[in-house]
Amino acid sequence: MVKITFVEHDGQETEVDARPGLSLMKNAVAANVPGVLAECGGNCACGTCRIYFDAEWARLMPAPRESEREMLDYWNEEGEGVRLSCQVPVVEDMAGMVLRLPESQN
């Protein structure tokens, strides 16, 4: 398992024992992280699973597909430090990673 911390907009933290190979979103939902809604169930169709991360973790993020880029555009999310958590698989090197969540996923 890989320890990953999700931080709500209000500072509330949830530490998750994440399973490698599953997406960040699936791990967050399984651990009842409140700020990850994931309304489409991981189909890259809702954008309610957005996460923010610091640059030090960028090397562990696979390049986003066009569909993910379009969804982030829809939410006016720009820049390097944002992803849809349903599109990012957990890997062992993510141990200790801290992810921040938006004020609202809607």
Nearer to ligand FES, 40 or 98 (CB): 40
Cα atoms in the 13 Å half-sphere on the side-chain side of 88: 28
Give the residue among 28, 41, 35, 43 at the shortest CA–CA distance from 12: 35
Report yes or no: 8 and 35 within 8 Å, Cβ to Cβ.
yes
* Residue with the CB atom nearest ligand FES in the bound state: 86
Positions 26 through 85 that interact with ligand FES (CB under 6 A) = 38-40, 42-49, 71, 84
Among 18, 72, 86, 99, binds ligand FES (CB under 6 A): 86
Nearer to ligand FES, 46 or 94 (CB): 46
